Amino acid sequence: MDRFDEDLVNALREIVSDGSWQYVGEKSQFKSPCTKLYAEDGEHVVLVRMEDDRFWAMDSSCPHEGGPLELGDIEDLGNGKMVLVCPWHHFDFCLETGISSTGLQNEVYEVRVVQDKIYINTQNALSLFPISETNTVPMGRMLPGEAKSSVSENSLCFWAVKILCTADPKEKVSLTQEVQAKWNSKKITEVGDIAPPMHPRRKESLTVLEPGKIKRGKGGTLASRIALLHSLANIEQWAIDLSWDIIARFSSVRLSTGEPLPREFFNDFVKVAGDEAKHYSLLEQRITELGSFFGELPVHNGLWQSATDTSHSLLARLAIVHMVHEARGLDVHPQTISRFAAQGDSSSVQVLEVIYSDEITHVAAGLRWFTYICSKEKCDCLTTFHELVKKHFKGYLKPPFNTEGRKTAGMTEEWYIPLVKPSS
């Protein structure tokens, strides 16, 4: 028996050296249900340990909007297949196949345990600790200048900061709509320049949890639909703040030509803010109609991380928030709609269709101003976009893509297909 074990280990060593099997550690090191393993290319892996000592592995970044699957729950949806559930928007992924009931697909990796040593079949070396990053994208010319902290109530930035500091979402919506009307009618005439807060305010009564601690209902129930609508309302509240933050944070940007951003830039993002306020109101009303209210369920603030990560660069903000995250919202729209339609919830479907139509214009706005700035800076749009996404969005972009919705927004395949993981 000892000789057999020795031969087996030697054979495995040959497989590891000749193939793509990565040794990640002893079985005893992985006592938690989920452990994140870091890869050099940013395509990190989550190793899942079941109670029966079976191991599974898949990409740790949710293919929806990059949610941290290592913080998710492991559930049995009733068909005998165990799934890992994303803590951000409750998308489930089968541990065996990576397939989600929403139609998305996550990549899974074969795992082998030999003499209590764990091996994962992937081309990337994996580590229990983050791997230091050295790549940078020089965008120094796009940094905003020093804030002058203008306090004129006739400036757009004054109101942007006021809205960011407004905790109650209904007041945030009301102020947004009021400022949008005043800006469009030119009752507010100047952009201004005032530093935004590092973090928008939230109501003290709102329960904010770590993403992995937010629970969900089972698929197909009223509770599940309320939870998803509640999650979307939380997204829209953050989207209001992201719109006002891009206005205030980058109001003083000067291009290398010395030009400021044109008024049309602010027109577009005031409209985006107004749309997001409308979306929140529609979702909040629908949640109430279903017998709940916004704030009854806990929320997370993981989405603000994108704002923090791109606070130094307007191009990075446009790329990640408006051309990656919002475009991903277009991708998952058909699956989200089908979940509500299958339950005969036509009222929620109508709300989601309104949101989808507006979100196409938001992706288009991000693309329009990204290409405008690149043309002024005389840098290649596609190359710059690909470099920024690789730097600020961990991992690859993942299909399925809503090709038609993206194309309507002006985002053709050359923008995103090169960011998909190459087939091995």
Q: For the segment 52-88, what is each residue's pLDDT rounded down to a tens digit?
A: 889 999 998 888 777 788 888 888 877 678 899 888 7
* Distance, CA of 78 to CA of 157 (rounded, Å): 51
**Does residue 424 lie in a domain region?**
no
Q: Are residues 331 and 408 in the same domain?
A: yes
Q: Are residues 150 and 276 in the same domain?
A: yes
Q: Are residues 252 and 337 in the same domain?
A: yes
Q: Are residues 205 and 318 in the same domain?
A: yes
Q: How confident is the model at residue 146 (pLDDT cuts 50, 70, 90)?
A: very low
pTM score above 0.75: no
The three-class DSSP label of residue 42 is coil
Q: How confident is the model at residue 3 (pLDDT cuts 50, 70, 90)?
A: low
Q: Of 127, 158, 192, which marks where a domain is finished?
A: 127
Q: Which CATH number characterizes residue 93's domain? A: 2.102.10.10
**Does residue 135 lie in a domain region?**
no
**Does residue 235 lie in a domain region?**
yes
**Does residue 307 lie in a domain region?**
yes
Q: Are residues 161 and 295 in the same domain?
A: yes
pLDDT one-digit tens code per residue, 216-263: 444 468 998 999 999 999 999 999 999 999 999 999 999 988 899 999
SS3 content of the chain, % helix, strand, coil (to 5): 45, 15, 40
* Distance, CA of 112 to CA of 117 (rounded, Å): 8
**Does residue 259 lie in a domain region?**
yes
More confident call, 136 vs 262: 262
pLDDT at residue 343 greater than cutoff 70: yes
Q: Are residues 91 and 228 in the same domain?
A: no
6-20, 214-228, 328-342, range with greatest mean pLDDT? 328-342
**Does residue 132 lie in a domain region?**
no
How many domains does the chain contain in total? 2
| pLDDT value of position 19 | 59
pLDDT at residue 142 greater than cutoff 70: no
Q: Of 67, 93, 127, which marks where a domain is finished?
A: 127
| pLDDT value of position 219 | 44
% of the chain beyond a pLDDT of 70: 85
CB 56 within 8 Å of CB 151: no
Pairing of strands 55-59, 73-76: unpaired
% of the chain beyond a pLDDT of 90: 53
Mean pLDDT value of segment 153-168? 92
**Degrees, nearest 5: CA angle 343-344-346:** 125
pLDDT at residue 399 greater than cutoff 50: yes
pLDDT at residue 38 greater than cutoff 60: yes
pLDDT at residue 102 greater than cutoff 90: no
pLDDT at residue 1 greater than cutoff 50: no
Q: In sequence order, what are the residues at sequence separation of 6 or more whose Cβ sits closer than 8 angstroms to the Cβ of residue 140?
A: none
Q: Starting from the edge strand earliest in sequence, which strands make up the sheet with 73-76, in order?
A: 73-76, 82-85, 92-94
Token representation of residue 7:
């031969």
Q: Are residues 368 and 245 in the same domain?
A: yes
Q: Are residues 198 and 87 in the same domain?
A: no
pLDDT at residue 280 greater than cutoff 80: yes
pLDDT one-digit tens code per residue, 170-221: 999 999 999 999 999 999 989 998 888 888 999 888 887 755 555 544 446 8
pLDDT at residue 15 greater than cutoff 80: no
Q: Are residues 106 and 15 in the same domain?
A: yes
Least confident stretch, 141-150, 238-247, 379-388:
141-150
**Does residue 52 lie in a domain region?**
yes
The three-state (H, E, C) secondary structure of 358-373, written as one string: HHHHHHHHHHHHHHHH
**Does residue 14 lie in a domain region?**
yes
| pLDDT value of position 133 | 43
Q: Are residues 120 and 145 in the same domain?
A: no
Closest to 355 in 3D by CA, of 246, 219, 233: 233
Q: Are residues 104 and 149 in the same domain?
A: no
More confident call, 24 vs 170: 170
| pLDDT value of position 245 | 96
- Owning domain of residue 264: 140-419
pLDDT at residue 147 greater than cutoff 50: no
Mean per-residue pLDDT over the chain, rounded = 86
Q: Are residues 53 and 184 in the same domain?
A: no
Q: Of 106, 127, 148, which marks where a domain is finished?
A: 127
pLDDT one-digit tens code per residue, 350-368: 999 999 999 999 999 999 9
Closest to 246 in 3D by CA, of 326, 160, 367, 182: 160
* Distance, CA of 327 to CA of 402 (rounded, Å): 9
